[in-house]
Amino acid sequence: MPRFDNAPKKSTNLSLNSKVLEAARSMGMNLSQTVDALLAAEVQRRYWERWNADNQEAIAAYNARIANEGLPLAKYRSF
């Protein structure tokens, strides 16, 4: 899972909708912080989306095994 804690900042250029940019600035939004948080969230979402797609076959096989054989330690469960 990608982690972005304490990573150094790097300047970059973005092209943004001028009306959205104007509205954000008029609200006193910190553009760098906002874009950074939203981009990190989207990277996380896409990471897990890809992970699920890459591991779908193994997950399906595991689920089928559990459906056929039951949980390995089910006899020890108290609930």
Q: Where are the domains positioned within the chain?
A: 37-68
Q: Report the amino acid identity of residue 14.
A: L
Contact present, 47 and 1 (Cβ < 8 Å):
yes
8-54: per-residue pLDDT in tens? 999 999 999 999 999 999 999 999 999 999 999 999 999 999 999 99
Q: Is the pLDDT of residue 1 over 90?
A: no
Size of the chain, expressed as the number of residues it contains: 79
CA distance 27 to 38: 17
Whether the per-residue pLDDT at 64 is higher than 80: the answer is yes
What predicted TM-score, i.e. pTM, was given to this entire model? 0.75
Q: What is the pLDDT of residue 32?
A: 95
Distance CA 28, CA 59 (A): 46
